[in-house]
Chain A
Amino acid sequence: MSHMLFARSRLLRRLGAGVLAAFLASAVLAADPPATPAGAAPPVVSPAQREKIEKAVGAGAQALAPAPAAAPAAAPAEAATDTRGLDQEIQGLKKDVVDLNRDLFVLEEELLFPANTQVAVFLSVDIGDFFALDSVQLKIDQKEVINYLYTPREVDALLKGGVQRLYVGNLKVGPHELVAFFNGKGPSDRAYKRGASLRFEKGVGAKYLELKIADRQRKLQPEFEIHDWE
């Protein structure tokens, strides 16, 4: 093996410098989510040194010689483009899936509950200090149409101001009666069951009814009402 003059110290300093440069390049930002250690870049070796190595080690070294410093810098830019292109494509796909969801929901409701015969019953809770809701049962014209059990998450959503569309169905034009039973925990954490009823007239067009559970401070009791949204 032919010997060569080789600036070992210079080469090995470049190894450290390579790590340093890569580290500083990645150690830019700390307000990101906590970053993990940046990987060290391959050491930077000058073309002259690479030539010397190739001569010393022979043909087998050619495939192993590191690429020039410029090449790694190009790869991240290409990777960023690919990522962004894919990201845009996936954004578009997501939007299309959301639109499809909407159209399917619209179709299902128009097929099952046409506007002329639709009746929807909503439920809202006001404050909730005197009544913790567990379940609601609805009867329309003496027939049970839904018996709904609430999860803690759903109750929380109601307390925040959400209004649940509890039931949607079809009714003929004419007089009908809605009866609602509310089960839960009342004041002093005792089991509590109350009912409310409403006779209403179903006309042509959708009918919306709201079940309201409200706290009445004067009485320290919850009140249950059914409100007809004419």
Chain B
Amino acid sequence: MRALLTLGLLALLAGGAADARRHDPEKLPLTHVRDLHYGDVLFYFFQNTEETDLTALTRLLAYDHWGRLSHSEDDALLLEGGLYLELGMHNRAGEIFQSVLTNDVPTGVRNKAWFYLAQVWYARGYMDRAEGALRKINGRMSPDLEAQRELLLANALMRQNRFDEAITVLSNWRGPDLWSAYARFNLGVALVRNKRLGDADPFLSAVGTMMAPSAETAALRDRANLALGFAYLQAGEPGRARAPLERVRLNGPYSSKALLGMGWADAALGDYQGALTPWMALRERNLLDSAVQESYLAVPYAFGKMNANAQAASYYESAVNSFDAENTRLDGAIAAIERGDMLEHVLSQERNAEDRFGWAWQLKTLPDAPESRYLYTLLAGNDFQEGLKNFRTLVAMGGTLERHADDMGAFEDMIETRERAYAERLPRADALLNSGAVQQLQQRKVALDNRLRAIEAQHEVAALGTAEEREQWGRIQRIETALAAAPDSPDNAELRTRLALVKGVLFFRLNDAYGARLWQEQRELKDLNLALQETQSRWIRVERARKNVPANNGEFAHRVVALQQRIDSLEGRLVAAEQKQRTYLAHVAVEELERQKERLATYQIQARFELGTMYDRAAREQAARPAAKPPVPVQKGAEDESGSEPPEAPQ
């Protein structure tokens, strides 16, 4: 799922980005990430562990909350669905895929998403949803995936007892050799379940005689032969059952049932001696196996049919004793499960496993516990595995919540520190805000604006001079004023002339620089305006922040309290769910063991009944024997007080 979702996402991203680059075809194509935060999510997603998947999903949701994925919305939503699926939350994944897998999404990505969702739903037992998801697949996928899709659809139909439809799907199935054996097997079983044994035979026989290079294909081959053999037995054709049953490996997982079936085939044909061969071999195996248990009765049954009543009685007695002992062991196992030991044993081996949330986890090793030997079938079964996954998930979530609960103290400290920091800064901030500094600056700026406009309007060249020039101009004006009041004299006239000259020179200098200086002052006023605007906007922000301080801290404190409540509530729900799951798993396990006990009890009754019947018959035969007895030799002087009869020859 992950590899194809990765490729699908990257193909999607590459398709939408203008500057995607292509590299070595064996490497994934690079893409152009349009949001840095989306790239951060991908960074965790690509690390491909359960923990980083959870981190990726957490960050994806958080960044979306802050609106930091504006250029990657569709991709992010698809990734979100994929992450929920990876973490086993197929409900939420399904909802997202429903909304995001529109025609705008490339068909390949859409189909793959539905296919993998269908796989998860199938594994979880939601056959109707699995079928619905598979039917949303548009067109044909790659040959390999298409073959898997059709097989999965057929499986889902068969699980819903819709064998006719499954047969139709499988009859038209075309796919790689890897999957063809499964297709033929499933078709054969569907035909058998539809009471078409004759049509099923070629398919099951084909699988039953195929080359089997791997353990998986060898097991499939055995299974096909077993299914065909038992189908013939049930149809009352024991002669045709032998051949497929003989093809089952003696050291395979189905050999016990095959041996039992072969014995029944021989028995049905009247060859009880022949039936004893597989049954005696079976009887030597572990009594855990139900087929072996049945052989404990089948062997004396065959002896009885051959009139070997002594052997039959002996084997019946042995069966009763063995069943008694096994019953006691079953009681012990049930007691251990009811004490709660089973799940602890099962999960203790998985504590260090990386995967905690993911749906792909499976129990791989059985615990070394007494009850394991009885629960092999149950523990290896899909339903129990799914239940175990749930239990494991609950335990993992409990750990997560514990850590979060510890973190709440840190958040409270952060808020307290923040409040203290604000408390230190607030007096300074208040003093500054109350000083009206910005308004004063604004007023000064307005005054400067007006002054400059007046200078410009009146062409006051001296106003823009340097300090020295202005001082000189001032002196000139003072001298001018003084000379104006002075009497006319040749000296004063000369002074006036000289002053006019100096004034003229200074004026010329000032006027020459006036244009540039005016432009410079106007520019600086503009810069001042900008800076003042920035200051005003900061002032407003500071004012706003000051007003919001109690609200912000209050809001944070409120959020922390609310989160703490959610953690407490989740912890409670978690404990309840964990207990329910534990109880359910224990109940399922105990039920299985009770079923085994019932079966043993039934066999015991039958064995005892047969023994009773045999003893009854023997007693009757003994009683019906005529009175003619061989004469007891009389010995002189000796009296035989025992009156005992010679032992009968065993029958």
Footprint of B on A, CB under 8 Å?
A: 1, 3-4, 6, 8-9, 11-13, 15-17, 19-21, 23-24, 27-43, 45, 53, 56-57, 61, 63-67, 72, 75, 79-80, 82-84, 86-91, 93-112, 116, 120, 122, 124, 126-127, 153-154, 156-158, 160-165, 204, 208, 210, 229
Give min CB distance, A25 to chain B, whole Å: 9
CA distance A109 to B226 in the complex (A): 62
- Chain B minimum-CB-distance residue to A64: B601
Contact string, B213-242, partner A, CB cutoff 8 A, digits 1/0? 000100110010011001101100000000
A106, B65: Cβ atoms closer than 8 Å = yes
- Which one of B36-44, B459-467, B628-636, B639-647 contacts A? B36-44
Question: CA of A204 to CA of B394 in the docked complex: distance in angstroms?
Answer: 44
A93–B605 touching, CB < 8 Å: no
A63–B598 Cα distance when bound, in Å, is: 9
Are A23 and B297 touching (Cβ within 8 A)?
no
Q: Tell whether B116 is near chain A: CB-to-CB under 8 Å.
A: no
Q: Is the CB of B290 within 8 A of A36?
A: no
Most buried by A among B190, B216, B264, B610: B264
Contact B608 A57 (CB under 8 A): yes
The CA-CA distance from A53 to B601 in the complex, in Å, is 12
Q: Roughly how many angstroms separate A39 CA and B254 CA in the complex, as a whole number?
A: 11
Per-residue CB proximity of B1-44 to A under 8 Å, as 1/0?
00000100010010000000001000010110100111110111
Q: Is B616 an interface residue (CB 8 A)?
A: yes
Could you pull out 15 A-B pairs where Cβ atoms are within 8 angstroms?
Answer: A16-B233, A19-B291, A27-B223, A28-B193, A30-B189, A53-B605, A56-B612, A97-B400, A98-B87, A101-B54, A102-B61, A108-B411, A124-B33, A161-B28, A162-B45
A124 touches B39 (CB 8 A): yes
Q: Given A15-B294, A31-B182, decide whether A87 and B124 contact each other with a Cβ distance below 8 A.
A: yes
Distance in Å from the Cβ of B230 to the closest Cβ of chain A?
Answer: 4
- Give the distance in Å from the alpha carbon of A116 to the alpha carbon of B602 in the complex: 78
Q: Which residues of A contact B230 (CB under 8 A)?
A: 19-20, 23-24
Contact partner of A61 (CB less than 8 A), chosen from B305, B381, B397, B605, is: B605
- 18 more contacts with CB within 8 A, not counting A64-B598, A79-B383, are A1-B616, A3-B616, A9-B305, A12-B298, A19-B290, A20-B230, A32-B382, A36-B253, A40-B290, A42-B598, A65-B605, A66-B601, A87-B124, A91-B92, A100-B404, A109-B62, A116-B541, A162-B40
Q: Which chain A residues lie closer than 8 Å to B393 at the CB level? A: 90, 94
The interface residues of chain A lying within 8 Å CB-to-CB of B37 are 165
Q: Which of B152-160, B336-344, B443-451, B489-497 contacts A (4 or more CB under 8 A)?
A: B152-160
Q: Kindly identify which residue among A42, A93, A102 contacts B577, using a CB–CB cutoff of 8 Å.
A: A93
State A55–B353 Cα separation when bound (angstroms).
Answer: 56
Cross-chain pair count, CB within 8 angstroms: 324
Closest to A42 in B: B599
CB of B591 within 8 Å of the partner chain: yes
The answer to whether B605 touches A162, judged by C-beta atoms less than 8 angstroms apart, is: no
Check B510 for interface membership: any CB of A closer than 8 A: no
CB pair A28–B291 under 8 Å, yes or no, is no
Q: Which residues of A contact B615 (CB under 8 A)?
A: 1
Whether A83 lies near B602 (C-beta < 8 A) is no
Report the bound CA distance from A67 to B230 in whole Å: 23
B36 touches A229 (CB 8 A): yes
User: Complex formed: what's the CA distance from A97 to B159 in Å?
Assistant: 33
List A contacts of B45 (CB < 8 A).
157, 162
How far is the CB of A216 from the nearest CB of chain B, in Å? Answer: 13
* Cβ 8 A contact of B40, one of A86, A104, A122: A122
A111-B411 in contact (CB<8A): yes
Contact B125–A80 (Cβ < 8 Å): yes
Q: How far is the CB of A208 from chain B (nearest CB, A)?
A: 6
* Contact B39 A100, beta carbon cutoff 8 Å: no
Residues of chain A within 8 A of B256, CB atoms compared: 37
CB pair B581–A106 under 8 Å, yes or no, is: no
B538 closest partner in A (C-beta): A204
Within B238-271, the residues touching A (CB, 8 Å) are 253-254, 256-257, 260-261, 264, 268
B179 within 8 A of A: yes
Interface status of B595 (Cβ within 8 A of chain A): yes
Q: How far is the CA of A40 from the CA of B598 in the complex (A)?
A: 12
Asked whether A23 and B23 contact (CB < 8 A) given A36-B253, A66-B598, the answer is no
Contact B613 A6 (CB under 8 A): yes
CB distance from B271 to the nearest CB of A (A): 14
Find out whether the CB atom of A39 lies under 8 angstroms from the CB atom of B264: no
Known A24-B227, A37-B253; judge A107-B559 contact (CB<8 A). Answer: yes
Residues of the A chain whose Cβ atoms lie less than 8 Å from the Cβ of B261: 16, 19-20
Whether A29 pairs with B377 at a CB distance below 8 angstroms is no
Q: Which residues of B contact A13 (CB under 8 A)?
A: 264, 268
> For residue B414, which residues in chain A have a CB less than 8 angstroms away from its CB?
111-112
B438 is an interface residue with CB less than 8 A from chain A = no
A105 touches B612 (CB 8 A): no
Cβ contacts under 8 Å, A102 to chain B: 58, 61-62, 65
* Segment among B135-143, B469-477, B517-525, B567-575 that sits at the interface with chain A: B567-575
CB distance from B549 to the nearest CB of A (A): 12
**In the docked arrangement, what's the CA distance between A75 and B595, Å?**
11
> Smallest CB–CB gap between B191 and chain A, Å?
12
Q: Is B57 in contact with chain A by the CB < 8 A criterion?
A: yes
Cross-chain contact B297 with A163 (CB below 8 angstroms): no
Q: Is B280 an interface residue (CB 8 A)?
A: no
Q: Is B114 part of the binding interface, using a Cβ–Cβ cutoff of 8 Å?
A: no
Closest to A52 in B: B609
Task: Among A24, A38, A126, A208, point to the contact of B377 (Cβ < 8 A).
Answer: A38
Docked-complex contact A86 and B563, CB < 8 angstroms:
no
Chain A residues contacting B620 (CB-CB under 8 Å) are: 3
Which of chain A's residues have a CB closer than 8 A to the CB of B411?
Answer: 107-108, 111
Asked if B92 and A95 sit within 8 Å, CB to CB, the answer is yes
B560: CB under 8 A from chain A?
A: yes
Residues of A within 8 A of B382 (CB): 32-33, 35
Q: A97 contacts B294, CB within 8 Å?
A: no
Interface presence of B88 (CB below 8 A): yes
Q: Is the CB of A98 within 8 A of B605?
A: no
A45 touches B186 (CB 8 A): no
Query: Pick the contact of B602 from A4, A42, A127 — CB < 8 Å?
Result: A42
Asked whether B602 lies within 8 Å of A66 as measured between CB atoms, the reply is: yes
Of B126, B254, B609, chain A has the most CB atoms within 10 Å of the CB of B609
Docked pose: A105 CA to B400 CA in angstroms: 13
A158 pairs with B43, CB closer than 8 A: yes
Report if B617 contacts A (CB, 8 A).
yes
B174 at the interface (CB under 8 A from A): no
- Residues of chain B contacted by A126 (CB below 8 angstroms): 30
In the complex, A32 Cα to B89 Cα: how many Å? Answer: 20
Asked whether B44 lies within 8 Å of A162 as measured between CB atoms, the reply is yes
Residues of A within 8 Å of B380, CB to CB, are 35-36
